[in-house]
A = this chain, B = another copy of it.
Amino acid sequence: MQRKELGIAVIGAGRIGTLRARLAAKHPSVGFLALSDLDPARARALAEQTGADFHSGDNLEVISRPEVTAVIVSTPEGEHAAPVCKALELGKPVLVEKPLALTLADAQIILAKLKETGGHLRVGYSRRFKECFLRAKEQMIHQRLGRVVGGLARVYNSRAQAFSILKRDPHATPVLDVLTYYVDLMCWFMEGNAPVEIVARGQHGIFREAGYSAHDVTWAIVTFADGAVVNFGVSYALPAKYPTLGQSDRVELLGTEGTMLIDDDHMDHVLYSDRGIPHAYVPDHHVNMAFLGSNTAGDWAVGDFWGPLGNETRSWLDHLVTGNPTVHTTPEQARINLETTIAIERAVATGKPVRLPLET
């Protein structure tokens, strides 16, 4: 059993970058932690919070530090390419947040660099690491459903969280930002069976009234190569104080020999408090009724972090030390996720079916 210490760089000190940094700081094999953010003050604050060894306002500088042996890229989605490519050039393994990029062109840049360097790159589709989805994948591996003929994956969230996202990025869309997780899950469950056609429709409501282009609700029917038809849906427009504190979803799979229904709406852990319950990611937002466990990334509780982003981060860091295989989304899988979600948006915009792969 070979063991080695890790030097981790976290590039981007926003919400997810902060989580990655805090999780890396707690990992028993991390001996060196470096943080960067285009806002040096934010990097410094996070460094203080995590006891990091180095911080800077220069992403590439941090990636290049000799003590850094692996890199987590948590910049805004449109800025993944540069730091990812730099790390690959330096031969350092990379975990980048989802989606891989915002355009297929940027995704291609990253994939080309990966091919050129023969490096290690994984994409942070952390929902794979929710316990129910890990268990679901195991059942799929054992073919418990026979041949999958159809399925459903729909995800809801409150507009409080949506406006929080839109404030940071007015052009964010629930399809590219959130539904992509469920495309990733379904493609993973039906590994080897890729999406080939999409029809989709959307409806405007409160987001348009607030000046954004995002749809209130989008439904898409995705047909896979063997004919399986999966329905995807997303709405991030639920009332602000609806009790979910993150993604409230259901995933259902129908097969010739079995059925699997996953209720991830989190009504299995309800808390009502007259004192109010704060929302982890929406400032000054309290609810009296909460579905605990709905916090998308996971929860800080009793001094540790529990949930998909924690499982994902730890699993990746463990892998760097032990070499044990993991199930993080590969770059090619991430490219399919991106292409599929772009196709869903195109299908909504045009009202026409869209075939995959997309004509460039």
| A positions within 8 Å CB-CB of B | 1, 3, 5, 25-31, 33, 51, 131-132, 134-139, 141, 143-147, 149-150, 152, 154, 156, 199-206, 216-221, 223, 227-231, 233, 235, 237-243, 254, 256-265, 267-275, 277, 288-289, 292-293, 299-304, 306-307, 311, 314-315, 317-318, 321-322, 324-327, 351, 353
Contact = CB atoms under 8 A, between A and B. Distances in A.
A307 B301 CA distance: 16
A258 B275 contact: yes
B311 A306 contact: yes
Contacts of A141: 302
Contact of A241 (B288, B321, B351): B288
Oligomer: number of copies: 4
Closest 8 CB pairs of A and B: A150-B217, A138-B301, A258-B273, A28-B321, A263-B268, A149-B205, A144-B273, A199-B199
A138 B29 CA distance: 27
Given A3-B31, A199-B201, A200-B221, 4 more contacts: A28-B321, A203-B223, A203-B228, A351-B353
Given A134-B306, A243-B272, A256-B206, A219 B231 contact: yes
Given A1-B51, A302-B141, A353-B351, A233 B152 contact: yes
18 contacts: A26-B318, A28-B318, A131-B131, A132-B269, A134-B301, A135-B293, A199-B199, A203-B227, A205-B256, A218-B229, A231-B231, A235-B254, A257-B274, A258-B271, A289-B289, A303-B326, A306-B311, A351-B353
Contacts of A3: 5, 28-29, 31
B272 A268 contact: no
Contacts of A27: 28, 318
Nearest to A260: B271
Contacts of A292: 132, 135-136, 139
Nearest to A240: B274
A223 B201 contact: yes
A275 B146 contact: yes
Contacts of A150: 203, 216-217, 219, 233, 235
